[in-house]
A and B are shown apart, each in its own frame.
Chain A
Amino acid sequence: SQKIEQNSEALNIQEGKTATLTCNYTNYSPAYLQWYRQDPGRGPVFLLLIRENEKEKRKERLKVTFDTTLKQSLFHITASQPADSATYLCALDPSNTGTASKLTFGTGTRLQVTL
């Protein structure tokens, strides 16, 4: 069966450290993968998209890697801040058409950054 798995347990880290979140998928061949941030009671907000032919993508303190052999994406936040505390969702287009007909999301990982 098709699955997208993210760490179900909350990740607690100290301010200034690097947070690393994992997204593993099974029985998909996505052309790209996206990461979203979701705060309590709000809709997801897009952060980064990485395509299958890209190994790594960066945006400010964020970095995403995509390993299609391992079927895994890693999401890193460097120099983390309490304001980074949120749930982070990975998502992919299950149809592999590359035309964003819909997204399938993982369950999300809650990140808590403490002082």
Chain B
Amino acid sequence: DTGVSQNPRHKITKRGQNVTFRCDPISEHNRLYWYRQTLGQGPEFLTYFQNEAQLEKSRLLSDRFSAERPKGSFSTLEIQRTEQGDSAMYLCASTLSTGIETQYFGPGTRLLVL
């Protein structure tokens, strides 16, 4: 399967715990995006990378959130001291930065904070 993959697919954690999600983009794609989606809403942009550089972060991304993309390949999104409001689907997408490009999404990681 050469699509975008995300792990884990589901995560249940207790409030205050830290969680980390991983995204493996399509191999030749140099741009990688993170979005968050809550029930009944469309995905909301969180941050994106071009190669290993993090080029933009949304105001939605509080200090408890951090994302990395070492070596410009896979990316991790960490949430520290999780809150119940962090419960959502976290989506990763990738694309090539050659102009107007559609984004290819992974299956998402569903987070439930108890």
A interface vs B, CB < 8 Å?
Answer: 4, 31-32, 34, 36, 41-46, 49, 51, 89, 91, 93, 98-108
Main secondary structure of the interface of A (DSSP, over half): loop
Residues of chain A within 8 A of B102, CB atoms compared: 34, 46, 49, 100
B interface vs A, CB < 8 Å?
Answer: 4, 31, 33, 40-45, 48, 55-56, 91, 93, 95, 97, 99-108, 110
CB-defined A-B contacts under 8 Å, sample of 16: A4-B42, A32-B100, A44-B43, A46-B102, A51-B100, A89-B42, A93-B100, A98-B100, A99-B100, A101-B55, A102-B33, A103-B43, A104-B45, A105-B44, A107-B40, A107-B42
Closest B residue to A8 by beta carbon equals B40
**Bound CA–CA A44/B37 (angstroms):** 11
Say how far B101's CB is from chain A's closest CB, in angstroms: 5
A46 touches B42 (CB 8 A): no
B99 touches A46 (CB 8 A): no
| Beyond known contacts A44-B43, A102-B33: 10 more, CB 8 A cutoff | A41-B107, A41-B108, A98-B99, A99-B97, A100-B95, A100-B100, A103-B45, A105-B42, A107-B42, A108-B42
Asked if A102 meets B56 with Cβ closer than 8 Å, knowing A42-B108, A107-B41, A108-B42, the reply is yes
Say how far B110's CB is from chain A's closest CB, in angstroms: 8
**Bound CA–CA A43/B43 (angstroms):** 9
Residues of chain A within 8 A of B99, CB atoms compared: 98-100
